Amino acid sequence: MKNQVLFLIAIVSLLTAPLVALSQTVVFSDSFSNGSTLTNTSPAWPTINSTAYEQISSKAFSGLSLAANNLRFGTTASGTVSAEIEALFTTTPVTLNTVGDYVQLTVVFTNLAVLTNATGSQLAFGMFNSGQVKPYPGGLNGTATTSTTLSGYAQMWSGYNAQYNSPANSSKIYTRTNQTSLTTANNQDLLLTGSPSTSYTGAAQLTGASLATSFTLAVGAVYTEVLTIQLNGANTNSLVVTNSLYTGVGTGGTVLAQYSGTATNATYLTNAFDSLAIGYRGSAQGGALVAISNITVVASVASAPTAPGPTFGVSGGGFGCPGDLVPVTLSGSVTTNTYWLYTNNVFSGVISNGTGNSITFNSTVKTVSITNTIVASNTVSALTGLMSGSAVVSPYPAPTITTQPSAVVVATNSTGVFVVVGSGTGLTYQWHRNGVNLVDGGHITGSTTATCLFPRPPRRMRSAARKVTIAPCLTPADCLLIPSPTA
């Protein structure tokens, strides 16, 4: 019988202790009854109580479901399994600017098997700066490994994850840097270390962030997890990341595990957080599913987070040939922002500095339609935000010949008429004689239209074959060769 791993997870607002005398704000609270989705191929942006969750896993999806107070993710496949869900929790990142500012996640869950595995397992939680890039639409169904080539999406997320490991005393807090040089789908992993085929690379343990003793969780028992990231009072370019686990509901139970680490210098990756992930890996946890009842993120900052600046509208787009540049326009800009062009939720590599006026980007036409959006990034506050609207850029459809031209016999002093009917967008026409483009003049009219006329053609023109090419985007569709008139 397969091992069944089930976490009944609820996020509570109870804090470990007041960290600073600042007001606490609920940034995100989702009980899955307000429009959230799971593995949706057209993910929506988050609201205060809904978002798009995407699963990545090393084995095929099974057992996934989403209902009020019950989000199930993982897989019922047997053997070693890695699985996690990833999501944005805000469109305005929580930015820690003042000493004492923090963002905190509290998770209450019932353990049914995880961290009881004698051969080793991991349970991990993390918060990240996504740059407002959503995770992979539809998720990675058993393909989140080095066997799949992939770029974009969660590849460039950066932040911190806290792991509980069993049975070894190796519970630690790690950095998760952007995976710039990693071109395989393990670059979407945010939480799990130690696997050459599924883990991200470059994890660095935070100073002091380790647990000196090992522990396991009792099957069927309830625990409370608290993950806190706080701007350090000793250095504004330093974060303290604390991970705590309590028995029972809330923080009044026995402290089962508690450890923290300092992120500074090379491990100080970001002070802005807008996304989260929860996941696990186990060598004998086939059949593992996680059932989440609610997810909430709270923050306490000296001043409420603000947008990077005014919101401007995106317009433009249209048709073109693959490789062509089609304009996408932002209606305005501010000089304190840079503006990043995204295509299908992936950064295109195109950045424009704000000028105080409208900005036009050039979007490259692909072989399929793409949706262009623009994200603003404030160079002073590091806040980011999505601009309003989008622009779709599509390739011209391939042309087709619906009616082929027919051979004609031209009597003396009469006109030879060749007609072709094409279907497509942006069609152009070019008639040829013996492989040479015809031009209007003399005995020829309409050489670049659908109807070509040859009034009173001289005898020398009656001994050549004609054809027409209909072509947008240098992808011609040739009609049949036309025998020359014989009279």
Three-state secondary structure along 49-115? CECEEEEEECCCCCCCEEECCEEEEECCCCCCEEEEEEEECCCCCEECCCCCCEEEEEEEEECCCCC
pLDDT band at 374; cut points 50, 70, 90:
very high
At the second CATH level, the architecture of 314-395 is: Sandwich (2.60)
Is 255 a residue whose pLDDT tops 70?
Answer: yes
At the second CATH level, the architecture of 400-478 is: Sandwich (2.60)
Exposed, middle or buried by CB within 10 Å (0-12, 13-18, 19+), for 392? middle
What's the pLDDT tens digit per position in 303-317?
655 678 889 999 999
CA distance 320 to 114: 53
What is the dotted CATH code of the domain comprising 8-300?
2.60.120
Q: List % helix, strand, coil for the chain (3-state, nearest 5).
A: 5, 45, 50
Strand partners, 65: 72
| Sign of the alpha-carbon torsion through 18, 19, 21, 25 | negative
CA distance 444 to 431: 10
For residue 167, cis peptide bond before it (omega within 30 degrees of 0): yes
Q: Determine the pLDDT at residue 15.
A: 33
Measured between alpha carbons, how far is residue 394 from residues 211, 340, 348 in Å? Answer: 53, 20, 16
Domain residue ranges in the chain? 8-300, 314-395, 400-478
Q: Which residues contact 93 (CB under 8 A, 6 or more apart)?
A: 129, 132, 272, 273, 274, 305, 383, 384
Q: CA 69, 73, 77 angle in degrees (round to 5)?
A: 145
DSSP 461: G
Q: Determine the pLDDT at residue 309.
A: 83
The type of residue at 265 is N
Is 482 a residue whose pLDDT tops 60?
Answer: no
Is 2 a residue whose pLDDT tops 50?
Answer: no
Strands, E, within 232-287: which ranges?
A: 238-247, 255-264, 272-273, 275-282
Is 112 a residue whose pLDDT tops 90?
Answer: no
pLDDT band at 18; cut points 50, 70, 90:
very low
Is 465 a residue whose pLDDT tops 50?
Answer: yes
What's the pLDDT tens digit per position in 137-194?
999 999 999 999 999 999 999 999 999 887 666 789 999 999 999 999 999 999 999 8
Is 288 a residue whose pLDDT tops 90?
Answer: no
Averaged over 354-368, what is the pLDDT? 93
Averaged over 220-248, what is the pLDDT? 84
CA distance 212 to 191: 21
**Arithmetic mean of pLDDT over the chain:** 82
CA distance 318 to 129: 32
Measured between alpha carbons, how far is residue 442 from residues 431, 439, 447, 453 in Å? Answer: 15, 9, 12, 11
More confident residue, 466 or 284: 466
Is 5 a residue whose pLDDT tops 50?
Answer: no
Give yes or no on whether 8-300 and 314-395 have one common fold: no
What's the pLDDT tens digit per position in 317-357?
999 888 999 999 999 999 989 999 998 888 888 999 999 99
Return the percentage of the chain with pLDDT > 90, whole number: 42
What's the pLDDT tens digit per position in 38-83?
999 999 999 999 999 999 999 999 889 999 988 888 887 777 889 9
Averaged over 433-446, what is the pLDDT? 83
The type of residue at 28 is F
DSSP 144: -
pLDDT band at 118; cut points 50, 70, 90:
low
DSSP 369: -
Exposed, middle or buried by CB within 10 Å (0-12, 13-18, 19+), for 175? buried
pTM, to two decimals: 0.61
More confident residue, 456 or 35: 35
Say if CB 44 and CB 30 are below 8 A apart: no
